[in-house]
Amino acid sequence: AQTSLPIFIRHAFDGAGNARQGAEIKVIYQDADGLDRQAWLPASSLIDGRITTVLPGATSRTVLARSAIRDWSLTSHDGRLFGAFTTRAALATADHDTRHAMHRLLMESPLPQAM
């Protein structure tokens, strides 16, 4: 996911740096108790090449370090997902019904060519 982050950025944000609908990132962050958490969150904007989002419990956007972004996904026009690399990797150990449902949700190729 990290190596393809520039592809995500190219497709996920408009010319003004606003995130397109369906652009999500999986981030690692510390909660109020200092514990590491992971969550899928909507991308908010792109500022100076860095992605922002609103973390759980926060009231304003946070500029994320690239290292905090563990994965990304983009919803295609037909509702299927590009990216979602951690989900794709987890399918190897998922039960049959989960694999079948996720294969219907995920695009065959994880990288968008054009959207």
| pLDDT tens-digit series, residues 44-61 | 999 999 999 999 989 999
Question: What CA–CA distance (Å, rounded) separates 84 from 38?
Answer: 14
Helix H or strand E encompassing 51: strand 50-53
Question: What are 8-40's pLDDT values in tens digits?
Answer: 999 999 999 999 999 999 999 998 899 999 999
Judged against a pLDDT cut of 90, whether residue 113 lies above it is answered with no
Q: Model's pTM, two decimal places?
A: 0.89
Q: Does position 103 have pLDDT exceeding 80, yes or no?
A: yes
